[in-house]
Amino acid sequence: MGSAPAALAAVVALGALAFGTAAASAPRKLLVVSVTKGYRHESIPAAERLVEALGRESGLYSVDFARTDEDLLAKTTRKALEGYDGVFFANTTGDLPLADREAFLAWIAEGHAFLGIHSATDTYHGYPPFVAMLGGEFAYHKEQVKVDAMVEDPEHPATSHLGGGVSVFDEIYVMKSFDKARVKPLLSLDKHPNTGEPGYFPLAWTREEGKGRVFYTAFGHREDVIGADWYRRHLLGGIRWALRVDGGP
C-alpha cells in the first residue's frame, strides 16, 4: 500500500476529474463535531484531519469545527446553522449540548446533510427522533476483529471502489433500533462479527431525511482504519453524496 499522502492524492484526483467544475463553482461547508459525553475515541483527531484534508484537497467543501460544549452551543443555533451545508459527527458519544436538538433535526430535513462515523450511533440514546434520523443505534461490541464486509450497493460513490467487499480489522458494532426498510444499505455482514452466528448486521448505510441526506459508516474506531486508502475513498464518496456534489438529484 502506498503512503497516506499518495493515497489521498489519488482520491482527490478522482474527485477532481468528475466533480471539479461543480466544486469550484459551489464549495460546501461542513461543521465537524467531535464533542463527547461518553467514551472519547483516541482516533478523533485523525478523523478530524481526514475530513478537513479531503475537503481542502478536493475543493468540494471547507470545514469548521465544534470541539467544545461552547463551540457546539454557538454553532448549532438556528441562525448559525444557516452557514453550513451539513454536519459531520466524528465519533461523538452521549447527549450533546446542541443549541436546539429539535431545530437541528428540522434543519437536516429541510435539505442539509448529516454524516456520522462509528460512535455517532452511540449518541443521543435517549432521544428517539435522533436515532430515527440516523437510522440505527449502537447496541454493543465485543473484541476487535477482522471482518469481510459485503458491498450491497456497488454503484454508490462510497462503495463503488470496493468491488464485492472489503476486509477490515476494527471494533465492529452490533446495532439495534435498525429497520433495513428505512435505509439504503451499503455494507453489511451476514454473520455476527465475533461469534459467527448467521444474521444480518449493517455496517454502513444512507437514508433520506425529508429533503436531507444521511450517511453513516460504523467503521472508524482505529486510526489505521481511518488512514486506509479504501476508507478515505469510502468517506469522500459518502460526503460527496450527502452534500449533493455527485451529479445526482
- CATH number for 106: 3.40.50
* Overall domain count for the chain: 1
Q: Does residue 102 fall inside a structural domain?
A: yes
Q: Does residue 178 fall inside a structural domain?
A: no
Q: What whole-number distance in Å separates Cα of residue 141 and Cα of residue 145?
A: 10
Q: Does residue 151 fall inside a structural domain?
A: no
Q: Does residue 183 fall inside a structural domain?
A: no
Question: Which grid coordinates belong to 92?
Answer: 461523538
121-144 tens-digit pLDDT: 999 999 999 999 999 999 999 999
Q: Does residue 147 fall inside a structural domain?
A: no
Query: Taking residues 57-70, what's their average pLDDT?
Result: 96
Residue-range definition of the domain harbouring residue 94:
4-136+205-242
Q: Does residue 216 fall inside a structural domain?
A: yes
Residue 230's pLDDT band (boundaries 50, 70, 90)?
very high
Q: Does residue 160 fall inside a structural domain?
A: no
Query: Taking residues 183-207, what's their average pLDDT?
Result: 98
pLDDT at 1: 40
pLDDT at 26: 72
More confident residue, 16 or 148: 148
| Cβ contact 97:69 at 8 Å | yes
Q: Does residue 249 fall inside a structural domain?
A: no
More confident residue, 26 or 22: 26
More confident residue, 240 or 22: 240
